[in-house]
Amino acid sequence: ETGLFTYDSGYTATASCKSAITYIDGDKGVLLYRGYPIEQLADKSSFVEVAYLLINGERPSAEQLKAFEAELSAEAGVDESINTLIGSFAKDAHPMAILAASIAQLSAKYHASLDLDDAEQRRQAAVRLIAKVPTLSALIYRHGKGLPANTPDTSLDYVSRFLKQTFESADGKYDLNKDVVKALDLLFILHADHEQNASTSTVRLVGSTGANPYASVAAGVTALWGPAHGGANEAVLKMLEEIGSADNVESAVLKAKDKTSGFRLMGFGHRVYKNFDPRAKVIGEMTKQVLGQLGVQDPLLDVAIKLEQAALQDDYFVARKLYPNVDFYSGIIYKALNIPTEMFTVMFALGRTAGWVSHWLEQQVDPEMKIGRPRQVYTGHDVRDYK
C-alpha cells in the first residue's frame, strides 16, 4: 500500500504514481495490459485494438474499432514543414534524434491551440501521436536512404500503411507481404507498454509539469534511445555481429562476466524481470517462424540462440537472474524485414507511443497528480563560509 519497492540489489524505490494500465510481476514473468495477459493479446489481438485498449481501458466494439482506425487514417498525414525539418538533418543523422525533433515540431504546431482541460482535445492529441509517429518514422527512413518524401496511403490498415510508406519505390511500388504485416503488428503489440520504464516515467515527469503531450512524448523518445533501454535492440545486433559466430560465444560470455571489460550482454537482464521476460519468449518463438516464412537464413540467429543457451547455463547469469529481455531477438526480426539497425529503436518508439500517450492521458485525470519531484540523498559538503 505504501508503494515502497525494494529491489534485490537493495535499491529501494517509492512508487512514482498509481496506474491501472499495465501490471508486471517480475518474479513470475507476468505482463498484463489492462488485465489481459500479453501472451493472449499477442495471439488474438491487433496493435490498433491494443492501442485502443491501453488508452480507453476496455477493448473496442467492432464499431469503435472501425471508428478508431478511421481516426488514425485521417490523422496520419503531416505538414510539408516536417519534410523540411527531416530534410535538414544529415543523411546519417541517427533516426532517434530526428524522431525526437519531429515530435517536438508537432508540439510547436499544436501547442497554442491545445486546451489541456478539454478531455476531447487530450484524446485527440493521443490519437494524433499514434497516427503520426509511423508517418514520421517512414519519412525518417526515406531521408536516410535518399528516397523522396511521400504520403501515407490511408486506404491501407495501420501497419500496411507504415510498411508501404517506408519501403515503396520512388514510383510508389511496394508488394505487401501478409507475414511481414503480421510480424510487425505483433512486435508493436509487444512493445506497446511496460508500466513505469525509464521512457514512460520520463513522459509522466514532463507531463506532470503541464507540458503538452507532444513535448512529453518527445522527451520519452530521447529517454528510450539509451542503450540501457530501448537502444538495446540496436546494441544487440551490433554485439551479435561483433561476436560473429557461435564459436565465439563462450569468450563473449566470459567477457560479460568480467566487470573490468565494461562489456554487458545486450538484450539480457532487466530492472524488474528476475525471470523470463514474457515478451522475449514470444519474440524468440516468432523469430524462427518469421525467418522461415521469409526464407531468410541469418547466421546471427544461431549466434543468439547459442548465446542465450550459454548464458542461461552460466552461474554468473543464473545467480543474478539475468534472462533475455524484449530487445534480445527483436533486432533479428527487424533485420529480416529489411529494417536497418539504426531504425530499430524507432520501431520500439512506434509501438511504445501507444503506452506513452495512455500514461499521459491517465495522469491528466489523476486527482492526486502533482508535479514530479524526485528527492536525493545529499552527499556533498556541510555548509561553509565563502571567505
Which residues are at the interface with ligand SDX (CB under 6 A)? 9, 194, 197, 228-230, 232, 256, 264-272, 320, 322, 325-327
Instruction: Out of 270, 314, 381, 385, pick the active-site residue.
Output: 270
Half-sphere exposure (Cβ direction) of 36: Cα atoms closer than 13 Å: 20
Instruction: Out of 185, 193, 277, 327, pick the active-site residue.
Output: 327
Nearer to ligand SDX, 167 or 360 (CB): 360
Strand-by-strand arrangement of the 30-33 sheet:
22-25, 30-33, 36-37
Nearest-approach distance from CB 59 to ligand SDX, in angstroms: 22
Burial level of 359, CB count in 10 A (0-12/13-18/19+)?
buried
Nearest-approach distance from CB 252 to ligand SDX, in angstroms: 10
Alpha-carbon distance 191 to 230, whole Å?
10
Hey, which residues does 268 pair with through a beta bridge?
Answer: 324
Nearest-approach distance from CB 321 to ligand SDX, in angstroms: 8
Per-residue burial over 170-201, b if 16 or more Cβ lie within 10 Å, else e, is: eeeeeeeeeebbbbbbbbbbbbbbbbbbebbb
Candidates 114, 1, 122, 52; CA nearest to 365 is 122
Judge whether 327 counts as a catalytic residue: yes
Distance (Å) of CA 61 to CA 43, 64, 209, 292, 330: 18, 5, 35, 34, 31
Q: What residue number has its CB nearest to ligand SDX?
A: 269
Residue pointed to by grid coordinates 531521408: 143
Nearer to ligand SDX, 126 or 322 (CB): 322
Q: How far is the first Cα of the chain from the last one, in angstroms, to the nearest whole number?
A: 49
Nearer to ligand SDX, 161 or 194 (CB): 194
* Neighbour tally for 299: CB within 10 Å: 12
| Cα-to-chain-centroid distance, residue 324 | 16
Judge whether 247 counts as a catalytic residue: no
Nearer to ligand SDX, 42 or 76 (CB): 42
* Cell matching residue 235: 546494441
Positions marked catalytic: 270, 327
